[in-house]
Amino acid sequence: MYENPVLNEAAPIQVEEVVLPQIVSIKQASQRMGLPAYYVRRLCKEVPGIAFQSGVKWYINLGKMAEYFNNGMTSI
């Protein structure tokens, strides 16, 4: 009987963990971070890289915002 050597060998499977950014609205970010919405809105406009705008709505990357606060804020 013919055995296929490729099927008999169990090769380890490489698994790569993918971390997706947590994107939220201004209202959700202000609630989760305990900050006023007007301040979050100001951060969106003045701090590059923590948020992006689609139409008139801002979307905040919570991980980047937390990193901004954890690494020390620049003057705003």
Domains and CATH numbers, the chain: 21-76 (3.90.105)
Q: What is the pLDDT of residues 30-72, one digit of tens each?
A: 999 999 999 999 999 999 999 999 999 999 999 999 999 999 7
> Are 50 and 68 a contacting pair, CB within 8 Å?
yes
Other CB atoms within a 10 A radius of the CB of residue 59 amount to 16
pLDDT tens digits, one per residue of 28-40: 999 999 999 999 9
**∠30-51-65 over CA atoms, to 5°?**
55
Note if the pTM is more than 0.75: no
Question: Radius of gyration over alpha carbons of the chain, in Å?
Answer: 22
